[in-house]
Copies of this chain bind each other. A is one copy, B any other.
Amino acid sequence: MNTAQPLRLLARRATPTQCLTQSSRAWRRALATPAARPTITHQKTGSQGPTAMVFMNMGGPATTDEVSGFLSRLFADADLIPLGPLQNYLGPLISRRRTPKIMKQYADIGGGSPIRKWSEYQAAEMCKILDVERPESAPHLPYVAFRYANPLTEEMYKRLLEDGFGKGKGGRAVAFTQYPQYSCSTTGSSINELWKWRQRLEAPSKASTDLTQAPKEDAGSISWSVIDRWPTHPGLVEAFAKNIKTALETYPEAEREKVVLLFSAHSLPMSVVNRGDPYPAEVAATVWAVMQKLGFSNPYRLCWQSQVGPSAWLGAQTSDTVKNFVKKGQKDLVLIPIAFTSDHIETLFEIDQEVIHEANELGAEGRVRRAESLNGSPVFIRALADIAMAHLDSGMATSKQMGLRCPGCKSERCLESKKFFVSQQLETERPAVII
């Protein structure tokens, strides 16, 4: 594999006759059992593969024993929860205090988060499709990198190196955020973490020093690109619409069109919103696209869940919204988790057990319900494959939008991380990085 060529040159070069579908399937099976993984031998000619497809997400503790570590990483992350100069002191304090309560919540949803199971399934299924439909970059190898739970980004990166990527052998990897809408707290944090481990585990990038020069690729290091947002991809929209229709069908036909749809996304502190984070606008774009797909069949609202602590967060809050509507007599409500694609504590506990329980206590009579999360939806997995293929075809390292830091951003880490990922692009096609 030529390790120095920019991404554009790697896009759509091989022909379908160089199909490695069969061997890719063998790869995938091998990956399902990490211990059995063979060492990757890069093709010298023919396919540009293998291509590592890295699903990035926040993750969740798979068992209650992992809750403590999960929370301590979460509260240590200033990209997610900015606690100021006392972060290293306050973070552990808050996470220790919250651990018993959150352990109980995970116990209540069956002992752990299903997010690892779903992420591994979605990544593997998507790679199956890519191997068939885009043989020139096959085999596509599924990896998962969580920000706060196993498999952590560090673990994923070490596995990439063990599998024969980088460290002089080059190779191509795609960091595919599993947050459809971009926030500095979520995708931004995952990207910064990926950049950090890339700097630690491969040679530190020289790209950050001078962006006006040609791309300085460290010889033989991994060529990274990022799928950084996909809030209105038609397949994503269709998958959401399908699950909403299924939920609406549980109501009597005569009442159906008067059911109120409540799209619920994780909230953000107003300090992050006011810094210029693009997330609220991108979540709204998803909601509008889904309502368009549904032909605006029902009245609806976008609301925001899971705020913690005493500072101001973006509202209206999901729990208040549900309570207010039920009190006013509007009991038929469908909650739609619109910013996560798999079930997690915010759906299985917060919505299903807290919000809906509170609604029933107010007399909702079981008429407040939730649309299923995308989880194993074939429409959704098909969408993931389409997004990945369009990205690989484009030859772009990131979207134009990713180079633009928030107007109020003061994070050096954001700046350096963005410079690195943008530097993976041919100079003439690089988006601007706003320093």
In the complex, are the beta carbons of B407 and A320 less than 8 A apart? yes
Tell me whether A278 is interfacial, beta carbon within 8 Å. Answer: yes
Tell me whether A431 is interfacial, beta carbon within 8 Å. Answer: yes
Measured CA separation A330–B431 after assembly (Å):
13
Tell me whether A74 is interfacial, beta carbon within 8 Å. Answer: no
Measured CA separation A282–B302 after assembly (Å):
10
In the complex, are the beta carbons of B329 and A435 less than 8 A apart? yes
Contacting residues, chain B, for A281 (C-beta < 8 A): 280, 283-284, 287-288, 302
Measured CA separation A405–B327 after assembly (Å):
13
Measured CA separation A143–B435 after assembly (Å):
49
Q: Closest Cβ of chain B: how far from A166's Cβ, in Å? A: 29
Chain A interface: which size bin? 35 or more
Known: A280-B280, A285-B288, A432-B258. A314 touches B273 (CB 8 A): yes
In the complex, are the beta carbons of A288 and B282 less than 8 A apart? yes
Contact with B along A42-57 (1 / 0, CB 8 A): 0000000000000000
Q: Closest Cβ of chain B: how far from A307's Cβ, in Å? A: 11
Other-chain contact of A403, B282, B299, B329, B405 (Cβ < 8 Å): B299
Tell me whether A297 is interfacial, beta carbon within 8 Å. Answer: yes
Within 8 A of B (CB), among A287-345: 287-288, 292, 296-303, 312, 314-317, 320-321, 324-325, 328-330
Copies in the complex: 2
Contact with B along A385-421 (1 / 0, CB 8 A): 0000000000000011101111110000000000000
Tell me whether A260 is interfacial, beta carbon within 8 Å. Answer: yes
Contacting residues, chain B, for A404 (C-beta < 8 A): 260, 299-301
Contacting residues, chain B, for A235 (C-beta < 8 A): none
Q: Closest Cβ of chain B: how far from A318's Cβ, in Å? A: 10
Determine the residue in chain B with the shortest Cβ distance to A431.
B299
In the complex, are the beta carbons of B330 and A432 less than 8 A apart? yes
Determine the residue in chain B with the shortest Cβ distance to A434.
B330
What are 25 A-B interface contacts by the 8 Å CB criterion?
A232-B292, A258-B431, A275-B316, A276-B301, A278-B301, A278-B302, A280-B280, A281-B283, A281-B302, A285-B285, A285-B288, A288-B288, A296-B400, A299-B401, A299-B432, A301-B407, A312-B312, A316-B406, A316-B407, A316-B408, A321-B407, A321-B408, A328-B405, A329-B435, A330-B432
Report which A residues bind B (CB closer than 8 A). Answer: 231-232, 257-258, 260, 270, 273-276, 278, 280-285, 287-288, 292, 296-303, 312, 314-317, 320-321, 324-325, 328-330, 399-401, 403-408, 431-432, 434-435
Given A284-B284, A284-B285, A325-B407, 13 extra CB contacts under 8 A? A260-B404, A273-B314, A274-B317, A276-B303, A280-B281, A281-B283, A281-B288, A296-B399, A297-B400, A299-B400, A299-B431, A301-B406, A324-B408
